[in-house]
Amino acid sequence: MEIKLADFGFAGSFEDPWTTYPIKTSEYSAPELLFGSRRYSKEADMWSVGCVFGEMVTGKPVFQGKSQEDQLKSTFRLLGTPTEESWPRLTEICSRRTLSCFPKCEPMKLAVKFFGFEPEGIDLLSKMLCLDPRRRISAAHALKHDYFKDFNQRGSIVIQTKPPSRILNAEATGSSSSQQFKRFSY
């Protein structure tokens, strides 16, 4: 399986994973990159996929910060401030002192922020937006997730070739079904 993300302001390949990439759109940038990690990974792309997935549900960016630091604060308000237990290797890219500058936040229930989104969708989103990149879901596993079980059982893949005319937000449009959203997401 392969997922390609485009138009995030910068594109690159994985030939040299130690290449430093400039952060231009922090709304979609993985926390490890915002903390200054020099290693760009597929896990970072899955974070971006999760941000887009969440934005498709709400109609607005999941994390909204004016700077990289503000973006991290926005992330921690929703997902909780990371600890050595929740992200064991965080101190390899971020000092304990830097981490202590952030307010201590407990994770919110994603079902509160994404009210009305079905439980399987919330579970998939939580796996895409996992703070620890080593625990983040892969693209292949995401496509096999229970959220897409209807598509997986039929063995079909739906390819969206044109962008939707509007974000598929059932609350905003009043007409988009859960099935339409899944079809577009898959």
Q: What is the DSSP letter of 106?
A: P
22 touches 38 (CB < 8 A): no
DSSP string, 59-83: SS-SS--SSHHHHHHHHHHHH----
**By percentage, how much of the chain surpasses pLDDT 90?**
46
pLDDT in tens, 74-98: 999 999 999 989 999 898 888 888 8
Note the CATH number of domain 26-154.
Answer: 1.10.510.10
pTM: 0.75
pLDDT in tens, 43-80: 999 999 999 999 999 999 999 988 889 999 999 999 99
Q: What is the pLDDT of residue 76?
A: 96
Cα(74)–Cα(91) distance, integer angstroms? 20
Q: SS3 helix, strand, coil % of the chain, rounded to 5?
A: 45, 0, 55
pLDDT exceeds cutoff 90 at 8: no
- Among residues 57, 1, 3, 6, the alpha carbon closest in space to that of 28 is found at 6
The residue extents of the domains of the chain are 26-154
